[in-house]
Structure 1
Amino acid sequence: MTSGVQVVIAVFVLIGAGRAQDCLTSMNDGPSLPTFPDQFSVDIEANIIHLNFTLHVTEYYDNINQRGRFESYSSFGSNVTFVNYDMMEVSHITTGADGQKSCMATPLASNSSRFARFLFGAQFDNGTAHIISTTQFLMFGAEFNETYIGIETVRGVPCHRWQSCNVTTGSQRNYTIDYYFTQTNWSYNPVMIPFQVVINGTRPDRNVTDGSIHEVYNVYSFVNFRPGPADDELFRVPPGLPCLGRQTGKPLPPLPQDYYTVLYETANPMSNVILYLREYYGFSQQLYRLDLYTNSDSPVVIIEDFNEGVHYNITYRYGTCSALPINATSASAVRDSNETFHLEGLKQHLQRQDQYNYTYEGISQVRGVDTESWISVRNNQPLSDVTNFTGFFQYISVQSSVWSIATGFNSSSNMSVPWRVVVDGNFTYRLPNGTVGSIYQRIAYEMLEFKTSEPDYDPFDVSVCFGVDQYTLLRLTLPLPDGTPYTSLDHSLLRTRIRLALSRAANIPATRLGGINVYDRGNNTLLVNLHVLDSPPYSIHPNSVSRDQIVSMLMDKVNSGQVSITLGELTITPSIRMRSNNSCPNPSNVEPSTTVTSTIRTSTITSSPGPTCVKEEESEGLDTGAAVGLAIGMLIVGIIIGLVSAVLTMWVIRRGKSASFKASTYSKQKDDAVI
Structure 2
Amino acid sequence: FVIYSLDGTSAIELEDNSWHIRPLNEFFLFSNDDQRRPLIQPKYIGQSTVRGIPVDQWETCIINRGNLQTFRRTWSFGRKDFVTPLGPIRDLAFPVQAIINSSIMLTNGMRVAQFDEVFNVYSYRPGIIESPEQLAPPKGVFCRYDSGQTLVSLQDAGFTWPDRFSVRVDASSSRETRWHRFHLRYDRGRNGGSKRIRYDYLPNNGEDFESIIHDYGNDLTYIIDRRTGTCKINRGVQYPDVNPTRDPISFFIQNEAKFFDSGNKIWEVNGIRACRGNSIKCSSLVSSIDNFPVIIEPDTGKPTGETWDATNVEYGWSARSIVAQAAAGGDRSFDYPVYLYLKLYRLDDPNNPSTTNIRTEDVEYEFYEMSHELTSNDFDTSICYRSGDLEYLHLGFILKIDQDNIVDGNHLNRRFLEMDVHFNLADKMGIRFSRITDIDIFHENASKDVNVFFTLLGPTPNPESPTLVSENEITAAVARDNLRKAIDGGVFQFSMRLTDNSTTFIQFRALNGSLKDSKQFMSSHAVGDVGTKESYSSGAQAGAVIGGILVGLVAGILIAAVIRIVRKEPMPNIPILPSSFTNPLPNINFYNKKPPTDAKATSDAKATSDAKATSDA
d(CA) in 2 for partners of 1:145 and 1:126? 22
Deviation at 1:179, TM superposition (A): 8.4
**Is the aligned partner of 1:280 residue 2:129?**
no
d(CA) in 2 for partners of 1:116 and 1:245? 21
Cα distance, 1:116–1:558 mapped onto 2, change above 3 Å: farther
2:580 alignment counterpart: none
Cα distance, 1:487–1:197 mapped onto 2, change above 3 Å: closer
Q: Aligned to 1:459, what secondary structure does the other structure show?
A: helix
1:326 alignment counterpart: 236
Cα distance, 1:164–1:493 mapped onto 2, change above 3 Å: closer
d(CA) in 2 for partners of 1:317 and 1:483? 44
Contact (CA 8 Å) 2:74, 2:99: kept in 1 or not? yes
2:478 alignment counterpart: 549
Cα RMSD for the two superposed structures: 5.7
Contact (CA 8 Å) 1:393, 1:421: kept in 2 or not? no
**Is the aligned partner of 1:567 residue 2:486?**
no
Contact (CA 8 Å) 1:266, 1:445: kept in 2 or not? yes
Cα distance, 1:309–1:565 mapped onto 2, change above 3 Å: farther
Which digits, 9 at most, give the CA deviation of each residue in 1:605-631, with x for residues without a partner? xxxxxxxxxxxxxxxxxxxxxxxxxxx
Cα distance, 1:213–1:120 mapped onto 2, change above 3 Å: farther
2:384 aligned residue (453, 457, 465): 465
Which digits, 9 at most, give the CA deviation of each residue in 1:640-669, with x for residues without a partner? xxxxxxxxxxxxxxxxxxxxxxxxxxxxx9
Q: Please show how residues 555-594 of structure 1 align to structure 2 within 5 Å.
A: 555-568=484-497, 569-575=505-511, 577-578=513-514
Structure with more relative contact order (C-alpha pairs < 8 Å, separation 6 or more): 1
Q: Aligned to 1:307, what secondary structure does the other structure show?
A: coil
1:264 aligned residue (153, 165, 169): 169
Q: Aligned to 1:523, what secondary structure does the other structure show?
A: coil
* Pairs aligned (count): 444
1:289 alignment counterpart: 198
Contact (CA 8 Å) 1:248, 1:357: kept in 2 or not? no
Q: Please show how residues 594-613 of structure 1 align to structure 2 within 5 Å.
A: none
TM-score w.r.t. structure 1 length?
0.51
Deviation at 1:258, TM superposition (A): 0.7
Letter in 1 for 2:238: A
Letter in 2 for 1:509: R
Cα distance, 1:248–1:405 mapped onto 2, change above 3 Å: farther
Cα distance, 1:561–1:409 mapped onto 2, change above 3 Å: farther
The unaligned stretches of length 5 or more in structure 2 are 64-70, 242-251, 347-358, 464-468, 498-504, 525-617
1:477 aligned residue (398, 405, 414): 398
Which digits, 9 at most, give the CA deviation of each residue in 1:328-386, with x for residues without a partner? 2289xxxxxxxxxxx98997231668779334333222221111233343423359996
Deviation at 1:533, TM superposition (A): 1.9
Moved more, 463-472 or 293-302: 293-302
1:307 aligned residue (217, 223, 227): 217
d(CA) in 2 for partners of 1:440 and 1:146? 40
Which digits, 9 at most, give the CA deviation of each residue in 1:498-547, with x for residues without a partner? 11112123332111223333343442112223333211321795412333
d(CA) in 2 for partners of 1:486 and 1:357? 48
Contact (CA 8 Å) 2:30, 2:42: kept in 1 or not? no
Q: Please show how residues 488-503 of structure 1 align to structure 2 within 5 Å.
A: 488=409, 489-503=412-426
Moved more, 320-329 or 144-153: 144-153
Deviation at 1:286, TM superposition (A): 1.9
2:15 alignment counterpart: 124
2:126 aligned residue (222, 228, 235): 228
Q: Which has the higher Rg, Structure 1 or Structure 2?
A: 2
**Is the aligned partner of 1:529 residue 2:453?**
yes
Cα distance, 1:409–1:558 mapped onto 2, change above 3 Å: farther
d(CA) in 1 for partners of 2:40 and 2:218? 84
TM-score w.r.t. structure 2 length?
0.55
1:240 aligned residue (140, 150, 159): 140
1:373 alignment counterpart: 284
Structure with greater strand share of residues: 1
Contact (CA 8 Å) 2:317, 2:335: kept in 1 or not? yes
Letter in 1 for 2:367: M
Letter in 2 for 1:533: L
Which digits, 9 at most, give the CA deviation of each residue in 1:191-214, with x for residues without a partner? 5767899999xxxx9986x9x999
Moved more, 250-259 or 189-198: 189-198
Contact (CA 8 Å) 2:201, 2:211: kept in 1 or not? yes
**Is the aligned partner of 1:509 residue 2:442?**
no
Q: Aligned to 2:365, what secondary structure does the other structure show?
A: strand
1:673 aligned residue (504, 507, 522): 522
Letter in 2 for 1:498: V
Cα distance, 1:185–1:316 mapped onto 2, change above 3 Å: closer
Task: State percent identity of aligned pairs.
Answer: 15
Which digits, 9 at most, give the CA deviation of each residue in 1:307-344, with x for residues without a partner? 3333223334323233222332289xxxxxxxxxxx98
d(CA) in 2 for partners of 1:532 and 1:550? 8
d(CA) in 1 for partners of 2:230 and 2:285? 41
d(CA) in 2 for partners of 1:130 and 1:274? 38
